[in-house]
Chains A and B, each alone.
Chain A
Amino acid sequence: MSPLEFILAGTLAAATPLMLAALGELVVERSGVLNLGVEGMMALGAAVAFIVAYQTGGHGLAFVAGAGAGMAAALVFAVPVLGFRANQVAAGLALGILAGGLSAMVGRPYESLTIRSLPKLDIPVLSDLPYVGGVLTQDIAVWATLAMAVAMAWVFRSTRLGWRIRAVGENPHAARAIGTPVLRLRLACIAFGGALAGMGGAYAATVYTPLWADGMIAGRGWIAVALVVFGTWRTGRVALGAILFGALSIGELVVQATGVRIPSQALAALPYVATIIVLAVISSNRMLTRRHSVASLGEPFDP
């Protein structure tokens, strides 16, 4: 397999945990809430999903458990933020640290154990094509995640639910004045975002690298938060940013394998740096950024 084929084949799988978490955070931020605890929610989802997969051997159940764990953590964040109008940045950071520590604690007995991954689905004929075949041979979770991105773009673009979430994010007071239940909608968005972050962790720990190790999320949660901002709160850009990051992190492995004499730490940092630079350049168009930015982001809503 040529290096390029290797990168093409691995990109989507590497992008999936990030894409799930970033799409979840996108929904949360579109509703006007900034949850910085993504890293912790992913870690907790990863640990819980790994334990369930290890005990039962079922990936479906593991994903449900991961989503549940992420959602539970998100609801812990929602109580002070929505109920008591606490500072969202502080509450999010606290949640991240809490959930990260919790993941290390529950995962300790499972440290360095491995399980089997999800099978890659072969598509007749297409999977045998050079280059394209590798891209098209993915596991079910990758396809589900991509479908989720498309569905989410559609929801925001052309459904009342999406418009309502955007309205609440832009001006919660006006949204309430026209009869939108602002806090309930935000609660639902926070829970959904937590579930997706948990699933992102679940994918990372049970499919992408089917093992549990403390700290295995390795900053993906933070990149997810950055993707949402630099992707100017648009589904397509956020998904593309995740794919870009996936490609770079696979590419970094390829470059390391070829033995180029660059310090490995510098190479390991490359995906993070490059993704942020690319997205920052893309998002430098002020007009578009303003059209899509969330006006009430981070502001507590006092009805």
Chain B
Amino acid sequence: MTPGATSGPASGQPEAGHPEPPRQGSQPEPGCDVPLLRLRGVSKSYGAVQANRGVDLTVMPGSIHAILGENGAGKSTLMKMIYGVEAPDAGQIEWNGAPVALTSPSEAGRLGIGMVFQHFSLFDTLTVLENVALVVPGSPRRLAARIATLGRDYGLQVDATEYVGALSVGERQRVEILRCLMQDPRLLILDEPTAVLPPQMVTRLFSTLRVLRDRGVSILFISHKLDEIRELCDAATVLRDGQVTGHADPRDTDTRSLTRMMIGRDLPPALPAEPGGAEGAVQLQLSQLDWTNPDPYAPDLRGIDLKLRGHEIVGIAGISGNGQSELCALISGETRLPTRAAGAIALRGQSVGAMGAAGRRALGLAYVPEERLGHGAVPEMTLWQNALLTAQSRGLTRRGMVDRRAALRFAQDCIAGFDVRTAGPEAEAGSLSGGNLQKFVVGREIMLAPSVLLVEQPTWGVDVAAAAEIRRRLIEMRNAGCAILVISEELDELFEICDRLHVLHDGRLSPSLVTARTTPEEVGEWMIGAGRPDAAPAGKGGGTGPARPGSSGTNADRPDTARPDSARPAPSHPDRSDPAAEGPGAGAASEGSDHAV
């Protein structure tokens, strides 16, 4: 809650890197200012599921207001109602003190509400300029000029003629924010904007948001990351199970009380991730693994070296789309190497590159894929049938026939042992919530007692308590001698459970970094490719790590530094600016980047 005096066009200089000085007047001041947006008793349900129940929310002008809550707490539904994508079942929305009916996104846009989606509403096959022009009126030439000016003012530089499909995630986010800003919004909604960014880019985003705030734009910042909210926001509304559980000023509320409001109790203490001590034998080894991707927009894997021993958890960090899913498919056996290259993957001392998934599982590999529904489990099948899918060799079949009783027992043990909340082993996998199904899938793989466990995004979309439980189980497995490879986008999680880290960027794997001796910043450098061997001499097996390029750190926060963002999902494709490749025939038939209208 900010008095009107500090809003409006202020100095415009972002104070990046410094915590905001506490701004005066954080108490509500009745009569001083009309709230920009006010929700009263807003409810929304989808069938039997009540997504929001009697939500009250007040956003003052010139404020960065956090909406805090776990996955599934109803944050996204609430934002959809504010942005006019969904209509509330009950309750009232007021804009500048007057009730409004937000029936469509364009109506919300007219009022001055802009939204940056978590899954961006951008179009890969259109250029930046064309994406902007879809919602912003004006001649393309004028739009291009505005993109450049706004980009300079707010640290959101992008090449307007580039196809969005060729941009990195960070650049895409900039395009989304730019597109919102060009409509002169009074309120900007950002849905989990930092989920997709490496740490350096988060700092840069925050300085952009502070400039916006200083110029009088209110921001609704949706997140479940408490540190970020305490750093950036001056007000917070906490949601749990669709209901408001508290309003707070995050600058003077400690993390623990925010956590309580968010999950209803204290966070279970993290298991201390003391190194496994015993140095196990090498269980999984990748040596100079090369793989050419059939998908032209996804990276090839090049020269990947990795050693995974028993008694350790190794994490692979990186922004998704840099080769993670390809690497998992190669390790699990879902993608096979040609026989002559089979030696690049060794499982427990055996060359398995050309072996199928079943053969590798028989050797002691277990795998928890990223997609729970359709990959980790079949949604239409019951839990015991899903248990059968990977555990059938553990006595669940007899002479080729399913031993139903044994399968039921296995599933029941998994449900009990991993605290899966469900009606029982006869429940369909698709009827479980994300977190519970994840616990079941992880539990099923752990019950196979593998010697190598490959886990992709172990806690993606899982509530805090279940996530902590899954991490605890992984550490237990490690202590029992299992070799665990975790691929995750959540850097905090990797730092919590891993003994060593690698970073995957553009299909190349960084050298090994010992978790205890590295920092998120160093890992972040590798995530955006700044620490590549060709940019700096590589560290030896961890510890020392890569040299940091001089342009990092504080400079990255300054909006006027045109720092190329090299974290492209698919950078090495020559076609994207090649007009000659755009097709034969009449000039008019080729779809180049000349936008004369």
Interface-central residue, B125, B140, B165, by most chain A CB under 10 Å: B125
Q: Taking each of B123, B131, B140, B576, which has the highest tally of chain A beta carbons within 10 Å of its own beta carbon? A: B123
- Interface residues, chain A, with chain B CB atoms under 8 Å away: 149-150, 153-154, 156-160, 163-164, 166-167, 170-171, 173-180, 234-237, 239-240, 285-288, 290-292, 295
Contact of A153 among B85, B131, B588, B597 (CB under 8 A): B588
Known: A175-B121, A177-B105, A234-B583. 17 other contacts (CB 8 A): A158-B596, A163-B133, A166-B123, A166-B125, A167-B134, A174-B123, A177-B85, A177-B115, A178-B121, A236-B588, A240-B585, A286-B296, A287-B575, A288-B581, A291-B163, A291-B575, A292-B591
User: Are A178 and B135 within 8 A (Cβ)?
Assistant: yes
Distance (whole angstroms) from the CB of B352 to the closest CB of chain A: 29
C-alpha spacing A235/B123, complex, angstroms: 19
Q: What chain B residues lie within 8 Å of A166 (beta carbons)? A: 123, 125-126
Report the Cα distance A236→B590, complex, angstroms. Answer: 7
Query: In whole angstroms, what is the CA distance A156 to B588 when docked?
Result: 10
Interface contact B584-A236, CB-CB below 8 Å: yes
Q: Would you give the shortest CB distance from A293 to chain B, in whole angstroms?
A: 8
Q: Which residues of A contact B585 (CB under 8 A)?
A: 236-237, 239-240
A247, B163: Cα distance in complex, Å: 36
Residues of chain A within 8 A of B131, CB atoms compared: 167
B525 at the interface (CB under 8 A from A): no
List the A side residues contacting B582 at CB < 8 Å. 234, 288
A295 vs B596: C-alpha distance in the bound complex, in angstroms? 26
Decide: A150 near B123, CB < 8 A? Known: A163-B130, A179-B109, A287-B573.
no
Pair B589/A153 contact, Cβ less than 8 Å: yes
On whether the beta carbons of B140 and A236 are closer than 8 Å, the reply is no
- With A158-B597, A177-B105, A177-B121 as known contacts, state yes or no: A290 contacts B588, CB within 8 Å: no
Task: Check B401 for interface membership: any CB of A closer than 8 A.
Answer: no
Whole-angstrom distance between the Cβ of A171 and the nearest chain B Cβ: 6
What are the residues of chain B within 8 A of A179 when measuring CB–CB? 104-106, 109, 135
Contacts of B119 in A (CB 8 A): 174
Complex: A150 Cα to B124 Cα, angstroms: 24
Candidates A154, A174, A291; contact of B588 at CB < 8 Å: A154
The answer on a CB contact under 8 Å between A240 and B297 is no
> In the complex, A175 Cα to B120 Cα: how many Å?
11
Q: Which of B549-597 contact A (CB under 8 A)?
A: 573, 575-576, 581-586, 588-592, 594-597
A92 to B406 Cα, complex, angstroms: 49
- B296 and A163 form a contact (CB under 8 A): no
CB distance from B84 to the nearest CB of A (A): 9
B328 within 8 A of partner (CB): no
Note all chain B residues with C-beta closer than 8 A to A287.
296-297, 573, 575
Whether B485 sits at the interface, judged by CB under 8 Å, is no
11 contacts between A and B (CB under 8 A): A150-B586, A150-B588, A153-B586, A153-B590, A158-B596, A166-B126, A167-B126, A177-B105, A240-B585, A286-B296, A292-B591
Is B317 an interface position by the 8 A CB rule? no
Instruction: Give complex CA distance A234, B585 in Å.
Output: 11
- B588 x A177 contact (CB < 8 A): no
Q: Is the CB of A156 within 8 A of B591?
A: yes
Given known pairs A159-B597, A236-B586, A290-B297, the reply for A174 and B121 (CB within 8 Å) is yes
Closest to A146 in B: B586
Chain A: minimal CB distance from B273 (Å): 40
> Which of B130, B134, B296, B590 lies in contact with A290, CB distance below 8 A?
B296
Contacts of A154 in B (CB 8 A): 588
Complex interface: chain A residues within 8 A of B575 (CB): 287-288, 291
B117 interface residue (CB < 8 Å to A):
yes
A-binding residues in B (CB < 8 A): 85, 104-106, 109, 115, 117, 119-126, 130-131, 133-135, 140, 163, 165, 294, 296-297, 573, 575-576, 581-586, 588-592, 594-597
- Bound-state CA distance A288–B583 (Å) is 9
Contact of B123 with A170 in the complex, beta carbons under 8 Å: yes
What is the minimal beta-carbon distance from A290 to any residue of chain B, in angstroms? 6
Give the shortest distance, in Å, between A134 (CB) and chain B (any CB).
20
| Chain A residues positioned under 8 Å from B583 (CB to CB) | 234, 236-237, 288
| Across-interface contacts of A292 in B (CB, < 8 A) | 125, 591
B150 to chain A, nearest CB (A): 18
For the complex, give the distance between the alpha carbons of A176 and B131 in Å: 13
User: How far apart sit A156 and B165, CA to CA, in the bound complex (Å)?
Assistant: 18
Whether B126 and A157, one on each chain, are in contact in the complex, defined by CB atoms closer than 8 angstroms, is: no
Which residue of chain B has its CB nearest to the CB of A167?
Answer: B123
* Least Cβ–Cβ distance between B475 and chain A, in angstroms: 39
A160 CA to B132 CA, complexed, in Å: 10
List, in ascending order, chain A residues with CB within 8 A of B135's CB: 178-179
* A164 adjacent to B589 (CB under 8 Å): no
Determine the chain B residues whose CB is within 8 A of the CB of A234 once the complex forms: 582-583, 589-591
Contact call A235/B589, Cβ cutoff below 8 A: yes
Taken together as a complex, chains A and B put the C-alpha atoms of A237 and B140 apart, in Å, by 26
The CA of A149 and the CA of B358, in the complex, are separated in Å by 53
Shortest beta-carbon distance from B117 to chain A in Å: 6
Instruction: List the B side residues contacting A173 at CB < 8 Å.
Output: 121
From A160, A240, A285, A291, B584 is in contact (CB under 8 Å) with A240
Bound complex: CA A144 to CA B171 (Å): 43
Q: Assess the A164–B296 pair: CB atoms within 8 A.
A: no
B125 close to A170 (CB less than 8 A):
yes
Q: Are B121 and A170 in contact (CB under 8 A)?
A: no
Residues in chain B near residue A163, CB distance under 8 A: 126, 130, 133-134
A163, A178, A234, A290 — most chain B CB neighbours (10 Å):
A178
Say whether A157 contacts B123, CB under 8 Å.
Answer: no
Q: Point out the residues of chain B lying under 8 angstroms from A167, CB to CB.
A: 123, 126, 131, 134
Q: Which residues of B contact A290 (CB under 8 A)?
A: 296-297
Q: How far is the CA of A235 from the CA of B305 in the complex (A)?
A: 46
What residue in chain B is nearest A235 (Cβ atoms)? B589
Closest chain B residue, CB of each to CB of A170: B123
A150 engages B125 (CB within 8 Å): no
Which residue on chain A has the smallest CB distance to residue B585?
A236
- Check if B123 sits within 8 Å of A291, measured CB to CB: no
Tell me the bound Cα distance from A237 to B592 in angstroms.
Answer: 14
Query: Which B residues are CB-close (under 8 A) to A175?
Result: 121, 123, 134
A291 to B124, CA, bound (A): 8
B104 to chain A, nearest CB (A): 7
- Compute how far the CA of A149 lies from the CA of B585 in the bound complex, rounded to whole angstroms: 11
**Cα-based distance from A167 to B119 in the complex (angstroms):** 15
Which residues of the other chain, B, contact A235 by a CB distance below 8 angstroms?
A: 589
**What's the minimum C-beta distance from A159 to chain B, rounded to whole angstroms?**
6
A164-B134 in contact given A153-B586, A179-B109, A240-B585 (Cβ < 8 Å): yes
Q: Which residues of B contact A240 (CB under 8 A)?
A: 584-585, 589
Q: Which residues on the B side are within 8 Å of A153 (C-beta)?
A: 586, 588-591
Give the chain A neighbours of B104 by CB distance below 8 A.
179
Contact with B592, one of A157, A176, A239, A295 (Cβ below 8 angstroms): A157
Report the nearest A residue to B107, measured CB to CB.
Answer: A179
B104 nearest in chain A by CB position = A179
Closest to A173 in B: B121
Tell whether A150 pairs with B589 under 8 Å between CB atoms, given A158-B596, A158-B597. Answer: yes
Sort A-B residue pairs by CB-CB distance and give the 9 closest, nearest first. A236-B589, A179-B106, A236-B585, A174-B121, A287-B296, A153-B589, A177-B121, A153-B588, A179-B105
Min distance, Cβ B108 to any Cβ of chain A, angstroms: 9
Which of B106, B115, B140, B576 is the one whose CB lies under 8 Å from A158? B140
Measured CA separation A239–B585 after assembly (Å): 9
Given the complex of chains A and B, what is the CA–CA distance between A237 and B590 in angstroms?
Answer: 9
Q: Give bound CA distance, A290 to B575, whole Å.
A: 11
Contact B105 A237, beta carbon cutoff 8 Å: no
Closest to B176 in A: A178
* A177 cross-chain contacts in B, Cβ below 8 A: 85, 105, 115, 117, 121
Q: Which residue of chain A lies nearest to B135 when distances are taken between CB atoms in the complex?
A: A178
Which residues of the other chain, A, contact B125 by a CB distance below 8 angstroms? 166, 170, 291-292, 295
Chain B residue, CB-CB nearest to A286: B296
CA distance A286 to B297 in the complex (A): 10
